[in-house]
Amino acid sequence: MAALLAARNVVEIGTGCGISGVWLMRGMRADGVLTSVDLEAEHQRVAKIAFTEAGLAPQRVRLIPGAALEVLPRLTDGHYDVVFCDGDKQEYPRYLEQAMRLLRPGGVVAFDNSLWHDKVADPAVRDADTTAIRETLRLVADDESLLELLLPVGDGLLLAQKR
């Protein structure tokens, strides 16, 4: 995805152990910068090791500790090519709102776990995470400024391009 867009600026919500960040960085332009936000400092410490072991230059990664919904409003409007969301599922609808502000026209927001262990398709499942993911899918589908694609790979990946 990052390579298809020739991404230069990417936001990742949920650093985790750095695997998705490594893959995003491998697809980005050589001068690209990944901004990765995570509430857990330990996740970012482990990710930093993964980035180093992958041979990624430290100046290409900006790790910001903190809650995504507190950090994202401080990032520059219309500056990003990709916003990759793999954080708190209940915050997905609000991540979409922030992504719309952060993305340049043609940029893509991606939501991991969009099938959520096959729970999203089962209307009887109504836990908070599943409901939030369903709401995000609906918001994306209803937004005429987005062109969406739901890939049934892994646990589901929702992609939406800002027109």
Q: Structural domain boundaries of the chain? A: 9-162
Q: CA-CA distances (angstroms) from residue 95 to 30, 60, 69, 73, 74?
A: 27, 23, 7, 10, 13
pLDDT tier at 42, thresholds 50, 70, 90: very high
* 99-157: pLDDT as tens digits: 999 999 999 999 999 999 999 999 999 999 999 999 999 999 999 999 999 999 999 99
Closest CA to 73 of 55, 100, 92, 47: 100
Whole-structure pTM over 0.95, yes or no? yes
- Distance from CA of residue 65 to its chain's centroid? 15
For residue 78, the model assigns a pLDDT of 98
pLDDT tier at 80, thresholds 50, 70, 90: very high
CATH no. for 9-162: 3.40.50.150
For residue 113, the model assigns a pLDDT of 98
